[in-house]
Structure 1
């Protein structure tokens, strides 16, 4: 009997409000159509590109990294050691590699490209230390062409990895990473992937290649201060030799030891920039980004991404519910409509930012900006839809919520 009363209640509720539900659905279709047209115009016209890119380079989730770097303890990473080549010549770089090899590291990643030949003696000397089994060398992938070290310095058979982080040319901020690049029958590994694979050896999961074949968010562990950075003199003096054994050594450019903060060479914008609004200047050396990627891979500490279908479903459901409420409010309580509209819109924005940050702390990336934008945009079109409904009512005797009780 009680179950029957519930069914009757919901049936009566639906019948009383069927025009409202129909009106909200049609308004949502109208809003989505307008949104598609506006989006198409924005994509087609280059005029909007600077605005699109500006918003693409901004994410309120960057606040998480700003807070993380301020509150985290200053413990140094023990798995990965960075070696700064600064502006050393090839003789000095070869000497550093020799000293590093004597300390028996497990992997040495060399993020330096020796494109042209210089002194034959020292080029050959350098080449000898780039042959080792534990070496991974970097190259740049540019329009499917490799910019790689000269073949007289880097011989065939050496493990290679492209130093590109991703292939998104429109975004200046390095948030994502593609560990495996596939095109036709060609499969190439990123520098961070190749280093991690060599370090993990038998523990490497073959399924990781498929997982890394699309862009994945980088889970940044820390900036330059998070890693032990060794300079030329420290390497040659052997001060840190005991620490190098069985570790990952990444060799590359990290600027002048004293003034590196003002050095812009091979620096990139990242979410770790303390100025997450109006990022300037670039904040992180490429070698440090590679170190974060390697740390993420060897620990399996990835950021999961909420699937697009869930975001789309939530966008449709929440937009429809919001339209039901505001269409009802627009007709019944017009005096408080604008005030409530602004309050609810502000609530949704703050709420979704809070949810996104909360989930991001749990290593779950939930991009809520699109949900909020679609909802706010759709609600803002209720007035235009009402005028369209009024026109249809006058011309075709349209029966809807606005013009039928």
Structure 2
């Protein structure tokens, strides 16, 4: 009995030190990868990949109806400022509660039409947009739109390395000001009643976007659907978003102001960009309106899971390795594959229930650590011969 307890203690000790060895190797690999530019393309490629893209790409989410009832999209395509002003004027007649204009009129043009547009932009229901580039605002010319109260930045988040839009940041702090995003500004104007103040803290952090759907899940109007039409009463008290949505017949092949999102049907080796910026804004606004967020599993839970699972996996395979089973390598490979598939399934199941569990780091650490047992065994052999260091592999 004492011998069994002694061996078990050695197994626990060996698994613990093997885990430390694995973490040191992984840390060294990551350090090299972060500091050598050769690895940057690989690092960015993995950053743009997520198992959870399967959730949208394979239509695992439940459909929420034919159209979004709260938000109407209006395509400005490539019309000029005069036509945009006419479009705004026609829409304003039908009493939408909020009009979001995802266009920046950066430079002055024809003073007559600029003034004509400026008159339409004075409407209190209007929210404009600007972008933040190198911590500076790029916004509409003051001669066209001078009120800064009804504007928000169009940046979804401030991660310049990732090509896929999965997250958004609702509030951005500078040294001099606190800025709100375009979707937050639109939502605040629609809900009123101090909605922004009540949600200030939760909007400061970057959070995942819960996508409602692509442009086919929203009612999209073209210029011809608005100008001269008598019956647009359905716009009353709605949110109307104007922006670029490409040509009505060939928008699938238009990549201007399009972004990669998890809704891309080809989640490995991406297709061309799949979603217009205006549609992403609409998805964020819908999420904010419904107060329907995705919860993120805290980092400390991920760390704890990684440590516990790595330790358990190493203890099991150190035990098998000592027994020198002929099937050891086969079992190792099968368990590694099963572990990856199981955690992908668990993450998808949780994501379906609005919980984001980032499993990539957990699976990578556990699977990589299993593969290092052979190298650790050689290190343990050296320590035993040189210093009489006892463990499960080598002891008196």
Secondary structure at 1:75 match in 2 = coil
* Distance of aligned partners of 1:223 and 1:12 in 2 relative to their CA distance in 1, 3 Å threshold: farther
1:238 is matched with 229
2:75 is matched with 84
Shift of 1:240: 4.9
Shift of 1:67: 2.9
The question of whether the paired residues in 1 share the 8 Å contact of 2:384 and 2:395 is answered with no
Q: In the alignment, does 2:30 pair up with 1:30? A: no
Q: Higher mean Cα deviation, 204-213 or 354-363?
A: 204-213
Shift of 1:333: 3.5
The question of whether the paired residues in 2 share the 8 Å contact of 1:130 and 1:158 is answered with no
Secondary structure at 1:302 match in 2 = coil
Map Cα deviations across residues 240-261 of structure 1 (whole Å, 9 max, x no partner): 5111000001011111111111
Matches within 5 A, 1:64-75: 64-68=55-59, 72=63, 75=66
1:308 is matched with 299
Map Cα deviations across residues 337-386 of structure 1 (whole Å, 9 max, x no partner): 10110111111000000000000000100011111100011111111111
The question of whether the paired residues in 2 share the 8 Å contact of 1:131 and 1:158 is answered with no
The question of whether the paired residues in 2 share the 8 Å contact of 1:137 and 1:158 is answered with no
* Distance of aligned partners of 1:239 and 1:62 in 2 relative to their CA distance in 1, 3 Å threshold: farther
1:172 is matched with 163
Q: Higher mean Cα deviation, 143-152 or 208-217?
A: 208-217
Map Cα deviations across residues 57-112 of structure 1 (whole Å, 9 max, x no partner): 11121111123389737611110000111111111110110111110100001000
Give, in whole Å, the separation in 2 of the partners of 1:230 and 1:136: 19
Map Cα deviations across residues 129-165 of structure 1 (whole Å, 9 max, x no partner): 1111111100010011111111000113441100000
Q: In the alignment, does 2:369 pair up with 1:378? A: yes
| Aligned Cα root-mean-square deviation (Å) | 1.7
* Distance of aligned partners of 1:120 and 1:14 in 2 relative to their CA distance in 1, 3 Å threshold: farther
2:87 is matched with 96
Shift of 1:400: 1.1
Q: Higher mean Cα deviation, 179-188 or 29-38?
A: 179-188
The question of whether the paired residues in 2 share the 8 Å contact of 1:311 and 1:371 is answered with yes
In the superposition, the TM-score normalised over structure 1's length comes to 0.94
Secondary structure at 1:250 match in 2 = strand
Give, in whole Å, the separation in 2 of the partners of 1:143 and 1:85: 28
Q: Higher mean Cα deviation, 135-144 or 204-213?
A: 204-213
Map Cα deviations across residues 267-309 of structure 1 (whole Å, 9 max, x no partner): 0011101111111211110000000000000101111100010
The question of whether the paired residues in 1 share the 8 Å contact of 2:294 and 2:355 is answered with yes
The question of whether the paired residues in 1 share the 8 Å contact of 2:85 and 2:120 is answered with yes
Give, in whole Å, the separation in 1 of the partners of 2:104 and 2:227: 22
2:122 is matched with 131
Give, in whole Å, the separation in 1 of the partners of 2:225 and 2:63: 27
Q: Higher mean Cα deviation, 203-212 or 305-314?
A: 203-212
Structure 2: which 5+ runs fail to align? none
1:190 is matched with 181
Give, in whole Å, the separation in 1 of the partners of 2:127 and 2:5: 66
Give, in whole Å, the separation in 2 of the partners of 1:185 and 1:306: 33
1:42 is matched with 33
Shift of 1:203: 6.0
Shift of 1:56: 1.1
When the two structures are aligned, how many residues end up with a matched partner? 396
Give, in whole Å, the separation in 1 of the partners of 2:64 and 2:389: 65
Secondary structure at 1:359 match in 2 = helix
Map Cα deviations across residues 143-192 of structure 1 (whole Å, 9 max, x no partner): 11111111000113441100000011111000000010013342100001
| Corresponding residue to 2:359 among 349, 362, 368 | 368
Q: Higher mean Cα deviation, 172-181 or 72-81?
A: 72-81
In the superposition, the TM-score normalised over structure 2's length comes to 0.97
The question of whether the paired residues in 1 share the 8 Å contact of 2:172 and 2:179 is answered with yes
The question of whether the paired residues in 1 share the 8 Å contact of 2:55 and 2:61 is answered with no
* Distance of aligned partners of 1:215 and 1:13 in 2 relative to their CA distance in 1, 3 Å threshold: farther
Q: In the alignment, does 2:113 pair up with 1:122? A: yes
The question of whether the paired residues in 2 share the 8 Å contact of 1:109 and 1:249 is answered with yes
Shift of 1:126: 0.5
2:51 is matched with 60
Secondary structure at 2:72 match in 1 = strand
The question of whether the paired residues in 2 share the 8 Å contact of 1:234 and 1:240 is answered with no
